[in-house]
Amino acid sequence: MQPDRKHFSLDEIIEALNRCMQRHPPEGIEKRLHPDANLLAEIVGEMYWRKLDDIPVRAIQGEHLEALLKWRTPDGNH
């Protein structure tokens, strides 16, 4: 991640979610999400609920941030 980065856009997070779901489609009759997809979907849901176009990097922590950093680039470590 760029050291001076202040925000992630909603579009960037949705792209990361889509990458994860393409690599790991929902499974089973209940359409269970991959754990990373679930974490990214939580961020997207929160942003929709709060009507945010971007979110401060400092607001995403722990396993949510790990999932976002893993899936945010096409050549990332999956």
pLDDT digits (tens, 9 = 90+) for 26-49: 999 989 999 999 999 999 999 999
Nearest alpha carbon to residue 74 among 19, 23, 34, 22: 19
Q: From 21, 16, 7, select the one nearest 75 (Cα to Cα).
A: 16
E-assigned strands of the chain?
7-9, 54-56
Q: Between residues 76 and 8, which one has the greater pLDDT?
A: 8
Whole-prediction pTM = 0.88
User: Helices then strands (H, E): number in the chain?
Assistant: 3, 2
Residue 3 main-chain phi, psi, to 5 deg: -65, -25
